[in-house]
Structure 1
Amino acid sequence: MTAADPVPPRRLRVSHAEREHVIGLLQKAIGLGLIDLDEFSERTDAALASRTREELNVVLIDLPGLVVTPLPDRRPLHLKVSRASLVRDGSWAVPSAICVDALAGDVRLDFSEAEFASRVVEIELRTKGSNVDITVSRTTLVESIDLDNRFGFFRDQTRSPGAEPERRLRLEGTVRASSVRIRNSRR
């Protein structure tokens, strides 16, 4: 598969909202008598551990009568840079998912004045030999959930929002020989 080939739907990554939706369907399956509590626990663990739609669908595949309502379109914004700079700042539209592919490039994402489509934004970083600079407002919590950082530098200089944050940025992906710096805006 080349970078230009689209990812097959079954291989797309799933969000926390999609996992929670499936767990809700599993709760309905208990009420219908389709599964017992032990099976619910096993399937819930599998749903929470799933990364792709294919893995998540396995949890429901043998349960008749459950209608899976499609969630809103969650196509990620793909940002790609190779040996150049990429900047997103000012008032820009932020979808619920962003995928950053950077090869020997500089990426600057400033979320401090951005317009968000959802409260939670999942950001997948796939970088090699790059610098990634992320700026957020003081009411944003940044979580590096599943970020594989090898031979690189990661510094989160943000301050905790204190109370419940207005939004969350969840970082995941693979960072190779790259620097990632996260900081609060000065405003």
Structure 2
Amino acid sequence: MRIENFIFMTKLKSLLYIFYSLLFLQFLSFCASPQDFYEQGKIEFFNENYEKAVFYFNRALQVNPNYQEVYYELARLYYEIDNYYYAKLNIERAIKYAGSNRELLLFSADVDAKLKNYALAEAKYKQVLNKDPLNLRALSNLAELYLDNQKFVQADKFLSDIMKSYPDNFKVLDLRARFYEEA
């Protein structure tokens, strides 16, 4: 009787081991990677489900705290909902992990302009223009920054430069019209 119980218990342990192993593997298949959370967050962000997007982006960061694309998307999300403080925090983290590329630098300057850190925004736009003198976004945003601060001489210089390279751009034409109204 004891041998039969022993054999039965051994088989039961083996079956339980197999069952729990399969259950664990099934659980792992349902676990999402940081990339999955990131992609789901982008979908929710596109659909303007901002709370869900933040949830998925934060889940991606829990798995991989150095995921610079997630920080960039969080910065864009917070910028879109006018929470510039959190946009600034996240764009700085994206720059920390990715290095300072042109897109991140331009976006960081845009956030600084919204936070009224005009000198910092101006420096970042000029940093981009040093590498790419015909960058339309940097030129037009810098001209707009000068208009906002009533620096009409500098605004006129940048608008003239932009008009030479981009004479049919609507934003440039709009800024030029604004310049004539305000100057």
Q: Is the TM value for this pair above 0.5?
A: no
Structure (1 or 2) with the greater helix fraction: 2
Indicate the structure (1 or 2) with the bigger Cα radius of gyration.
2
